[in-house]
Amino acid sequence: MPVLRKKLYQNTTVRLPRRVYELAKTAVEKSDAASSFNDFVVQAIEQKLQQLTESEIDAAFAHMSQDSDYQRTAVALAKEFERSDWEAACVGEVDDEHSRTKTRSRRRLQRSARPH
């Protein structure tokens, strides 16, 4: 039997500019944006946190593009796996051709099975 985890909540008070509050309240009332004002606020905060996380990741990748040690390592790894990548691509092409052949054969069988 699965164990249900109780969500932990923290109550807090937030002061919003009236215009922001009214727009958010209207959005909740007029759309399916959220089931309640509270849910709307939680979703907005979660979305902002996701954006911040993605920005941090983007910044780390931007730093990597300027990092000469990382560039050397990336090139070395690419060269090391070049043959296996090529072999995997060839296998993928064979699998794709096999799939197309099976589909064509299946269509022929379906056409021949139809009453004339």
The tens place of each residue's pLDDT in the chain, 116 residues long, gives 566 778 899 999 999 999 999 999 999 999 888 999 999 999 999 999 999 999 999 998 888 888 889 889 988 998 988 888 888 888 776 666 656 555 666 665 555 555 55
Tokens linked to 67:
């990092």
- Contacts of residue 65, Cβ cutoff 8 Å, sequence gap at least 6: 71
Cα-Cα-Cα-Cα dihedral of 96, 97, 103, 108, to 10°? 170
Residue 108 to residue 59: CA distance in whole angstroms: 54
The pTM (predicted TM-score) of the whole model is 0.53
Residue 97 to residue 94: CA distance in whole angstroms: 5
Tokens linked to 109:
């069988």
Q: What is the pLDDT of residue 107?
A: 61
